[in-house]
Amino acid sequence: RDLVRRRLEHEPIQYIIGEWDFMDFTIKCRAPTLCPRPETEELVEHVIHQIQNDQQQHKDNDNNPIQILDVGCGTGAIGIALARAFPQAEVTAIDIAPEAVALSNENARLLQLSDARYKAQLCSAADFTTEASTAATSVMKFDYVVSNPPYIPFNDMETLTPDVRDHEDFGALCGGDDGLNVVRDIVAMLPQWAGESKCTCWMEVDVSHPIMIRDWIGGSGNDDVNKFVEYRQDLCGRDRFVRLEVS
């Protein structure tokens, strides 16, 4: 009966059950950390195909571990999915919410991922410099940066359904007035995170963003280092994913 009451109060089913499936595994979900959406599974699929393509093209090259950064890790779903898909990958994950960092690490250990393969730490995108990194290798040289940052524009927050609005973390949803605050931080840090070699950045964003980001980064003189490669729609036909590159 208590479970029914909670559901009647619009508590997300993932919080009530305490877990949900993401791709081919199950992760613990806990309020107020954002529950992964199907769009985020799509994001992961895009990154996996990207990495597989890149591996095909550089077959004979180094056997060095693939370095992946998950910005705003939440439950850990994205980084964990990539660590599972690529046994040779090392995933670093950051989030500003202590609950999210704890939950991400908890989920990783439950899924047999060691500290060396997956480690979440408390840090914002803007503050994630070499000094701040506590990862085992203190690596600041990522091959891939993935993010599902808070991206809802402030004015849209009041249109949210009660299950989202009343139970999930505001900070994990709202990206400021235009929704691009965290995206801007990521783009600003990308050259530093890339280090010497090529770095690809995939992000899930609001439907209003891909065109805005393309015009902002792609525009001449605006950003010489970052390159806007493409944007894609999700399975419901909305502009949803962007791919950037630092060479």
Q: Shortest approach of other proteins to residue 45 CB, angstroms?
A: 6
Using CB under 8 A as the binding rule, whether residue 166 contacts other proteins is answered as no
Is residue 163 part of the contact set for other proteins (CB under 8 A)? yes
Structure letter (DSSP) for residue 35: P
What's the rounded Cα separation, in Å, for the pair 83 and 27?
14
Site stretch for other proteins (CB under 8 A), options 16-24, 49-57, 103-111, 132-140: 16-24
Distance of closest approach, residue 73 Cβ to other proteins, in angstroms: 15
Can the peptide bond before residue 32 be classed as cis, meaning omega within 30 degrees of 0? yes
Both tokens of 148, joined, read 């599902």
To the nearest whole angstrom, how small is the minimum distance from the Cβ of residue 117 to other proteins?
A: 22
Nearer to other proteins, 45 or 223 (CB): 45
Q: Determine, following the binding rule CB under 8 A, whether residue 168 of this chain makes contact with other proteins.
A: yes
Interacting residue with other proteins among 148, 181, 200, 226 (CB under 8 A): 148
Q: Which of 89, 173, 187, 244 binds other proteins (CB under 8 A)?
A: 173
Residue 38's contacts (CB-CB under 8 Å, 6 or more residues apart) are 235
Between CA 76 and CA 22 the distance in angstroms is: 10
Residue whose CB is less far from other proteins, 71 or 194: 71
Vertex 41, ends 199 and 171: CA angle to 5°?
A: 80
Long-range contacts of 104-112, Cβ-Cβ distance < 8 Å, separation of 24 or more = 104/73, 104/74, 104/75, 104/76, 104/79, 104/80, 105/76, 106/28, 106/76, 107/27, 107/28, 107/75, 107/76, 107/77, 107/80, 108/76, 108/79, 108/80, 108/83, 110/28, 111/25, 111/27, 111/80, 111/84
From 130-138, 160-168, 193-201, 214-222, span contacting other proteins (CB under 8 A): 160-168
Under the binding rule (CB under 8 A), the answer on residue 231 touching other proteins is no
- Nearest distance, CB of residue 186 and other proteins, angstroms: 16
Cβ 15 to other proteins shortest distance, Å: 10
Asked whether position 169 contacts other proteins by CB under 8 A, the answer is no
Among 23, 69, 120, 194, binds other proteins (CB under 8 A): 23
Determine, following the binding rule CB under 8 A, whether residue 14 of this chain makes contact with other proteins.
yes
82 binds other proteins (CB under 8 A): no
DSSP strand pairing (199-204 vs 239-246):
antiparallel
By CB under 8 A, name the binding residues for other proteins.
12-14, 20-24, 34-35, 37-39, 41-42, 44-45, 148, 150-152, 156, 159-161, 163-164, 168, 173, 204, 206-207, 234-236, 238, 240
